[in-house]
Structure 1
């Protein structure tokens, strides 16, 4: 893939011409210094650490420096003695004063580093929400915009033997032209929300690779390996011991090496999620991965996994930690959430409304759950703003780049509930074509809305139907529209010869609140909503999957009803305390029937 070079003006003393280098694929299999743990932090709502009182960027004396505090000098901050916060995390749930805070917080971490001849240091962040400026030893090494995708910088030239420090300016203020924009229905958790590592890699390292079943040749595993430099005649080996594969290839002038080898692997399925130990290596580097092999395609109104018709029994999930709330990031968080999905009877999860952390995707793959992965082009984006489009495309690029070897990912989603219009169609068409260009082996979709309704007949019409493989839409009968009884009369017309996924439906209930099934907010109403909706869904022609909204109650500033919502969206089938609601068992029973139908 083409390197993305970001140059920065010398606006501060000591800054360097820096570059955000392409993501180091499978970064956690490298030789890493783990920078998770306690970081000092300073809250800076006026950005006093970045601008002077004339609103000009500091050349010196900014919070990016690591000055020793001296009472003989005027200095109004001290990162070394400021409070500490566990990283990864979000400041909203780690500091009660910052629960609603949106703005700038500075973070600092000291670490030891030993330089080694012939190596580079790559500083990797799993995600920082939303606008990050990164400094190493007081030097600006780069910036990144986007709260849910990874990024890394080559910091070799600013590292020193011994003690080093990294400072990150994090700003999560919402802006109209951002992706997502100012209006959203989840918590805008601020902070360094995923893993931070410093990778020590060879000067020319294995930057990226692809290993998968060949799309056009049966019984062939194919792919490529890309070095970080355009160096020819470098020997690279791809090994899959269980399949008796050991393929040696040589890079071309671009540092690329393509390969294909005959093989008949056991195919990955939700029932038997077979993964193979794969090694990509060269003389000074050895990268281990686990990779599964499967095919995914459509035929008319059917979705085919490994050539067999499959029904996607799903659930939508936000990246919110079970029990404690806040941003989820750990393996324990992922296993808890995905175990609940498996208990529900799911073979698929919709990871909404942004790319989730890499651990979540890998655990879904290991546990046998297909994945819908999405970029946060959500509701009303600035459709005509070129920078907004570039931001969305960059996030789409990073999502595909990171997870292209994950066989569990079967759907790339480019948007959710966007308003119809020419500008929107142009924006999303470009995104869909870009996704297809980057990866033609998976299905493309988006969560649409039904906009035409008359006499209890709902007709889906969306110009984007031409550019997606699956027609997906959200509907909220019984909650935002009509009553639960209305479901009995509703008919759905999807005038496209493509599979249909109902990507959202549901309603809110406070766990433990009981009452008549005609009264909102209690478990009986939500239970009845699911009973009536699932019966209605059975009448949709070409229905190939569903992902109700949502697995677990999650925090949202839009949801303020005292005593019921209290800043939680209560549409979860499981409460924020991990207790299953009555509707959970309605969905579980329906999925058991679907599983029987598709055996």
Structure 2
């Protein structure tokens, strides 16, 4: 097909008051100009705003209303000449991606299209002679549904404009539409369905996007004396091998033919994204080529088989990420393949093989890039709300019809891509299960090449699996059957990473398919739930506990928040500005802590990465789980500003963990040590289970497993075993290894390193081992633990106290009296409360504090604690006897969980151990700090270590504190008077 490219300069006008139709702007000269493709914001049209949004990025040129575009197009060089023009050509105006569009040719109104997810296509043949003015009006205010992340300020913004390809397609009067390719790798053949379209009469005005056919007011007829056929050929895109041409006669309307290939056919998957091209030539009986078409496809069979997904007959596991199409430079999703290749390649470097698009569908270029790289794609209808039926008094038939048709448009436009394997009806839906089931049935019957789910995390506390669902995406099967590691406070109970001491032995098998379940999952009645960024009261019906019979995917996993990296602000050089980050930076500066910003970011970021490791490994250890979808690998720029990514919003590494280290626990082959805890005592014998999650096509044969306990480069202990067999496509136990914790004189942080396979000539420490090098080479992983001996002399600390005039007190008044005497005082303050301190918690905040504080308050539920772990001056001499990193690690769990962080706002005190507060509240929070008080010296620890009699870390931290206080190095810098000590608390 020929194209008349319409990229370039167009007349332009903003119409905020939306009066342009009444004022006949389609007949007017538009005084401004714009180069398309563009949005109002990328073209910087209008008056920039000084607004500073704190919940999401700011678009200074944000515009809602009508925009008008006009351009003259010269058709005199086309073949549309003479009286027989209607038998020669068809002309279609195509806008790849826009909002609601309206089109005029001269003063003739052609029609409107409101798809957010597919191209807009207008048949303009009846209006074409020579030169014509084409006018397009785009409206981003009148959507039938809100549009989810297709039109959200939290993600790609509610932009106004036209992006991607803009052209007039010139085709023969007889042409093909609805080409659907179903590839069968077993039979080495493709089934091709096509619609043959022919037109009589010049009166056609509209084009039905749902089924790519003519509307009812046109004659959908072919001349009966004509015969049409296609010549089909297939090319291997890699080998440039062509398969023989075949000829197929076409009937009017729908046609199906089978094209056979040979045994050289390769399959498409994440490991081998093999692509082919189907070339079709449409000819008439005189063998005149009317049109030519090219379609890329792959031989892939993605199925739900029992509780697992299979790709081409082999079990696979989805390592997914959420995507809301966040692109700060443009404020809209790119439409070029190169941009998507860059994004998807980065995701693949972090072990991701699956994309779930939250209430949105990406452009064609995203699917093309995913085809090339081997990424499993799941677009979602642009909806986040309640699906009703006719019995519901709030039923909106127009909105629901729009959503259903949007799904068919997505299937029609992108369905041939092998990467398009799944589709969801929306995010966190409520409403009529019968209606959802009916919609699913329609899609499954229409296009069986994809798997379908009724939505992501539907019905929340009361999930169900509908008859026509191929797989389930959610976070729980009842109130307590959780299969995610973290939850918001308003969705309590919270996950195991938030509520349990650090462990690497947890999995979700009993939560997903428990061995014995009796009773109901919930009682009936009304309940208030989180609903988007707010709340909603919904009706819940009692039902039996749900045991899934389809693959289960965990929804929006992770959401471990970290402090902002303010150095990112300068990267926002495009459409969207990080004015939220500027506000957060100013707040921190007002509190006098801007100098700590980088340390807050690095410590909270590294801690979040450790939480993600535990989360992902729990998923991989779970034989009953079919995959997970991270809330995101990258930061989410909206909904309060959720900095939950190990990558920033530009998909760039933040520096908290390398892709090589991340792939140790997130790739197609991961070695997993089942450590029951991370804190051990000398001499303790630990049974460590070893699991192998392997989903590479090569598998792993006869792996030899070696476990080493390392102190730096020194090996303190080593155990190993050998297994026989071929491990392919599954989660396997490689047995248990017994490890005796070594005798050490002081507490130590050590590393457990596990390696499986027979390492080749490369050093096993080499971090560049790729996923494809697994067979007979090293798969490795590592875990940080702490080992604590007995304190040598149980009376030693008492002697330190008595010999060095150290007073240990829980009472501030008593402490002040001793300070007046010039004593050294270790204070465990006993008067910490909600007024002067923040509750201690080990895990970092979920999502972001501002959003869930507001939701919890609305629901009258406990507000999240909202902190981001610890920042520790690890080189401080107080830790000479206590091993620590600069961020939260498991030896701090007992200590932090039994503490409160003291609010030190306005105090000229730099804590030794900080609790990192969130960017909204920005308290200066101290867990351990020191200060000179007159002639005395005070060290404050907000966790009463003396009372934690069963905790080795607590004992050793107090021991280290006392040794420090007895040394000459105990010289606090900050000074206050005795009378001011009270004011600290």
TM range (shorter): 0.7 to 0.9
1:111-510 correspondence to structure 2 within 5 Å? 111-113=73-75, 114-117=77-80, 118-129=88-99, 131-162=100-131, 164-173=132-141, 177-180=145-148, 185-186=154-155, 187-214=157-184, 218-229=187-198, 230-231=221-222, 233-241=227-235, 242=241, 244-254=243-253, 256-261=255-260, 263-264=262-263, 265-282=265-282, 283-321=289-327, 323-380=329-386, 384-419=395-430, 421=431, 423=432, 425-445=433-453, 446-449=455-458, 451-452=460-461, 461-473=462-474, 477-478=485-486, 480-481=488-489, 482=494, 484-486=497-499, 492-493=511-512, 495-507=547-559, 508-510=561-563
Over 3 Å counting, the alpha-carbon distance change for 1:306 and 1:537 in structure 2 is same
Does residue 574 of the first structure (1) align with residue 542 of the second (2)?
A: no
Provide the C-alpha distance between the structure 2 equivalents of 1:411 and 1:152, rounded to a whole number of angstroms. Answer: 25
Listed one character per residue, the Cα deviations across residues 380-435 of structure 1 (whole Å, up to 9, x for unaligned) are: 4566211111101111001000122111111122221113x4x3x23322221121
Q: What SS does the aligned partner of 1:293 have?
A: coil
Deviating more after overlay: 32-41 vs 257-266:
257-266
Structure 1 residue 249 displacement after superposition: 0.9
CA separation of 1:257/1:358 partners in 2, compared to 1, >3 Å: closer, same or farther?
Answer: same
Per the alignment, in what secondary structure is the counterpart of residue 664 of structure 2?
A: helix
Q: Report how far residue 463 of structure 1 moved.
A: 3.0
Counterparts in 2 of 1:137 and 1:296: CA distance versus 1, 3 Å: same
Conserved 8 A contact 1:125-1:194: yes
CA shift in 2, pair 1:319/1:207, >3 Å: same
Contact 1:92/1:100 (<8 A) preserved? no
Note if contact 2:474-2:554 (Cα within 8 Å) is conserved in structure 1.
yes
Deviations 1:248-285 (A, max 9, x none): 11112436353343544211122221112320112221
Counterpart CA distance in 2 for 1:286 and 1:527 is 51
Distance, in Å, in 2 between the alignment partners of 1:102 and 1:211 is: 39
Change (3 A) 1:32 1:183: closer
C-alpha displacement of 1:39: 3.2
User: Higher RCO, 1 or 2 (CA under 8 Å, sep at least 6)?
Assistant: 1
Partner of 2:695: 598
Is contact 2:230–2:280 with CA below 8 Å preserved after alignment? Answer: yes
Deviation at 1:546, TM superposition (A): 1.9
Quote the residue 1:44 is aligned against.
Answer: 15
The answer to whether the Cα contact below 8 Å between 1:322 and 1:578 also exists between their aligned partners in 2 is no
2:24 counterpart SS class = coil
Give 1:203 shift: 0.7
Matches within 5 A, 1:525-540: 525-538=607-620, 540=622
Supply the distance in 1 between the matched residues of 2:384 and 2:658 (Cα, whole angstroms). 27
Q: 1:300 to 1:255 in 2, by over 3 A?
A: closer
- Give, in angstroms, the shift of residue 332 of structure 1: 3.0
- Give the aligned length: 526
In our comparison, the structure showing a higher alpha carbon Rg is 2
Deviation at 1:183, TM superposition (A): 7.9
Deviation at 1:174, TM superposition (A): 6.0
| In 2, Cα distance between equivalents of 1:138 and 1:575 | 48
| Contact kept? 2:460, 2:474, Cα under 8 Å | no
Indicate the residue corresponding to 1:84 in structure 2.
Answer: 34
Moved more, 168-177 or 290-299: 168-177
CA contact (8 A) 2:15 2:66 kept: yes
Q: Closer, same or farther in 2 for the Cα pair 1:503/1:165, shift >3 Å? A: farther
Q: What's the TM-score once normalised by structure 2's chain length? A: 0.50
Decide whether the 8 Å contact of 1:179 with 1:391 is kept in 2.
no
Aligned to 1:34: 5
Asked if the contact 1:124/1:151 (under 8 Å) is kept, the reply is yes
RMSD, matched Cα: 3.2
Counterparts of 2:17 and 2:346 in 1: how far apart (Å)? 42
Contact 1:354 1:374 (C-alpha < 8 Å) held by counterparts: yes
1:267-324: per-residue Cα shift (whole Å, max 9, x none)?
A: 1122221112320112221112322111111211111111011112222223233655
Distance in structure 1 (CA, Å) of the matches to 2:637 and 2:138: 21
CA contact (8 A) 2:486 2:557 kept: no
Distance 1:296 1:504 in 2: 22
Q: Name the SS of the counterpart of 1:189 in structure 2.
A: coil
How many angstroms does 1:333 deviate by? 2.2
- Give the Cα separation in 2 of the matches to 1:157 and 1:141: 10
CA gap of 1:90–1:536, structure 2 versus 1, over 3 A, is: farther
Q: Distance in 2 between matches of 1:255 and 1:287?
A: 17
SS in 2 for 1:395: helix
What SS is found at the alignment partner of 2:361? coil
Q: Is the 8 A contact 2:512 2:624 kept in 1?
A: no
Distance 2:278 2:15 in 1: 46
Deviation per residue, 1:191-244 (Å, 9 max, x gap) = 2233221100001112232222249x7333222222222436311111115362
Q: Which moved more, 1:110-119 or 1:245-254?
A: 110-119
The worse-fitting range, judged by mean Cα deviation, of 306-315 and 169-178 is: 169-178
Q: CA deviation at 1:588?
A: 3.2
Mark the CA change 1:573 to 1:155 in structure 2 (over 3 Å): closer, same or farther.
farther
Q: Distance in 2 between matches of 1:351 and 1:429?
A: 21
Give the TM-score normalised by the residue count of structure 1: 0.79
**Alignment deviations for residues 432-451 of structure 1 (CA, whole Å, 9 cap, x no partner):** 11210111122112312574
Aligned-partner SS, 1:466: coil
Asked if the contact 1:210/1:224 (under 8 Å) is kept, the reply is: yes
Give the SS at the match of 2:411.
helix
Q: 1:221 to 1:331 in 2, by over 3 A?
A: closer
Question: 2:867 matched to which residue of 1?
Answer: none
Shift of 1:547: 2.3
* Gap change, CA 1:512 and 1:539, over 3 Å in 2: same
Distance 2:437 2:602 in 1: 39
CA–CA distance in structure 1, aligned partners of residues 630 and 369 of structure 2: 21
- Partner in structure 1 of residue 26 of structure 2: 64
Partner in structure 2 of residue 455 of structure 1 = none
Does the aligned pair in 2 maintain the 1:412–1:443 contact within 8 Å? yes
Counterpart contact for 2:634–2:649, Cα < 8 Å: yes
Matched residue, 1:5? none
Q: Is the 8 Å Cα contact of residues 176 and 382 (structure 1) preserved in structure 2? A: no
Query: Is the 8 Å Cα contact of residues 410 and 443 (structure 1) preserved in structure 2?
Result: yes
